[in-house]
Amino acid sequence: MPELPEVETVRRGLDTLISGYRITEALQLHPRALKSESIAPLADLAGAKITGTSRRGKFMWLNLNRPYVLVAHLGMSGQFLIHQKNRPAATHIRAQFTLAKRLRTQELVFNDQRTFGWLSIEQTQNNIPASAQHIALDPFDPLFDKEATITKYRKRNIRIKTAILNQEIMSGVGNIYADETLWRARVHPEMSTADLTQKKLTIIIDSATEVMQEAIDKGGTSFDDLYINVNGESGFFEQSLAVYGREDQPCPRCGTPIKRIVFGARSSHFCPRCQRR
């Protein structure tokens, strides 16, 4: 599932390529493309001007010159793509938007092979759409409060891997970057938050911020063509992964074979020497 670096890469691409364009036509091409809670059909976007883009955690949205926004969650395989003549056409289009700016037009599509992603027209409160109101700030938000986040973690008595995946405490981190974060912080994924010091929790948050920034700089992580940017290009952070998906391969830091365990229906990859419980 795309995590913060992948969603931020898509958001930046859209912000550059479609800000200032007016939506002349919006078509829903699959019944599950639009979230049931959407306050209007996609067709109602016709005439709206895209004024910019925003994101919180793994949620992103298009800001419009309207009293609502177009929210998108990429799910497992959702993609925003600008159709280009020199690239193959998307094959799992769930929604299609015709955009115009002066004499220029372009076609934006929401492509989603597994149909877990969705779009939704929503009103906002304090500039945040309804579906993202429960989502905590991520470390890149100017209002992110590291000390308050540490306090929330310390009040819990749950595994740290479970805690940093909780989008209501700190958003943006998914399974890939959780494993990479804990490896950098030298923390075993099954350690309880109650047993971690404030200093160690600070290191964990700083490591999460660091690894996600590096992933953003490399366009995110692409294991297959289910995640690509708006130009159809893959990210390259997979080449920098230290532990995720590297079971039995040597730890880049000490050479010990990486181990994989499963809890909470998720796989966790870690170095048994660097990340002792």
Q: Please state, in angstroms and rounded to a whole number, the distance separating the CA atoms of residues 209 and 221.
A: 15
* pLDDT at 88 exceeding the cut of 80: no
Among residues 11, 58, 161, 246, the one annotated as catalytic is 58
Residue carrying the six token digits 């830091």: 253
According to CATH, where is 1.10.8.50 located in the chain?
A: 146-270
Residues 12, 174, 211, 117, Cα dihedral to 10°: -20
Is 8 among the catalytic positions?
no
Q: Work out the pLDDT band at 68, boundaries 50, 70, 90.
A: very high
Q: Note if 88 is an active site residue.
A: no
Write b or e for each residue in 34-49: b if 16 or more Cβ atoms lie within 10 A of its Cβ, otherwise e.
bbeebeeebeebeebb
Query: Which of the residue ranges 153-157, 205-209, 236-240 would you say has the lowest mean pLDDT?
Result: 236-240
Which range, of 49-53, 190-194, 237-241, averages the lowest pLDDT?
A: 237-241
- Per-residue pLDDT at 226: 59
- Cα–Cα nearest to 23, from 69, 55, 54: 69
Reply yes or no on whether 25 is catalytic.
Answer: no
As annotated, the residues of the chain forming the CATH 3.20.190.10 domain(s) are 4-132
Q: Which pLDDT value is given to residue 263?
A: 84
**Is the CATH code 3.20.190.10 the one for domain 4-132?**
yes
Is 120:35 a contact under the CB 8 Å cutoff? yes
For 146-270, CATH gives 1.10.8.50
- Mean confidence (pLDDT) of the chain: 94
Amino acid residing at 266: R
Residues 158-182: what's their mean pLDDT? Answer: 97
Is 266 designated active site? yes
Position 21, amino acid: Y
| Region 37-54 average pLDDT | 98
- Distance between CA atoms of 114 and 226, rounded to whole angstroms? 9
pLDDT for the residue numbered 234: 73
- Residue 122 belongs to what H/E stretch? strand 118-122
Give the C-alpha distances (Å, rounded to integers) separating 45 from 39, 61, 93, 122: 11, 13, 18, 11
Rounded Cα distance between 197 and 203, Å, is 10
pLDDT of residue 237: 83
